[in-house]
Amino acid sequence: MDNLAVRKMIAGPWRRKTTHGLNCSSVKDLAAFGPDNPVQFQLADRLFAENERRMETVDRKEVRDHEIEIASTGAFINRTVLMFAEPSSHQNDIAHWLETLFDLYVMKSQSHTYFYEWLFRYAGIADLILIDQDSFGDHKSSFKRFMRIAGEACDSVPLVVISKGFCVDDFSVCWSDAWDVSLRSPVSISSLCKAVETASEISLNGR
Per the structure, the count of domains in the chain is 2
Shared-domain flag, residues 46 and 89? no
Q: Does any domain span residue 67?
A: no
Q: Does any domain span residue 176?
A: yes
Question: What residues form DSSP beta bridges with 84?
Answer: 109, 131
Per the structure, the complete domain to which residue 166 belongs is given by 76-205
User: Which residue ranges in the chain fall short of pLDDT 50?
Assistant: 2-3, 6-7, 10-11, 13-22, 24-33, 58, 68, 72
The amino acid at residue 149 is I
3-class DSSP assignment, residue 182:
strand
Shared-domain flag, residues 48 and 115? no
Shared-domain flag, residues 39 and 83? no
Would you state the pLDDT for residue 77?
A: 87
Q: Does any domain span residue 62?
A: no
d(CA 131, CA 113): 14
Q: Does any domain span residue 145?
A: yes
Shared-domain flag, residues 104 and 48? no
CA 187 → CA 55, 76, 161, 204, distances in Å? 16, 21, 11, 24
Would you state the pLDDT for residue 76?
A: 86
Q: Does any domain span residue 63?
A: no
The amino acid at residue 174 is C
What pTM was computed for the model? Answer: 0.66
Question: Integer distance in angstroms from the first to the last C-alpha of the chain?
Answer: 41
Q: Among 50, 43, 53, 52, which Cα is nearest to 7's?
A: 43
Q: Does any domain span residue 185?
A: yes
Q: Tens digits of per-residue pLDDT, 71-126?
A: 545 678 899 999 999 999 899 999 999 998 888 999 999 888 899 999 999 988 99
Shared-domain flag, residues 30 and 81? no
d(CA 195, CA 198): 5
The amino acid at residue 24 is C
- The radius of gyration computed from the CA coordinates of the chain, to the nearest angstrom, equals 24
Burial of 175 (0-12, 13-18, 19+ CB in 10 A): exposed
CATH of the domain at 111: 3.40.50.2300
Q: Does any domain span residue 66?
A: no
d(CA 156, CA 206): 7
Would you state the pLDDT for residue 101?
A: 87
Q: Does any domain span residue 65?
A: no
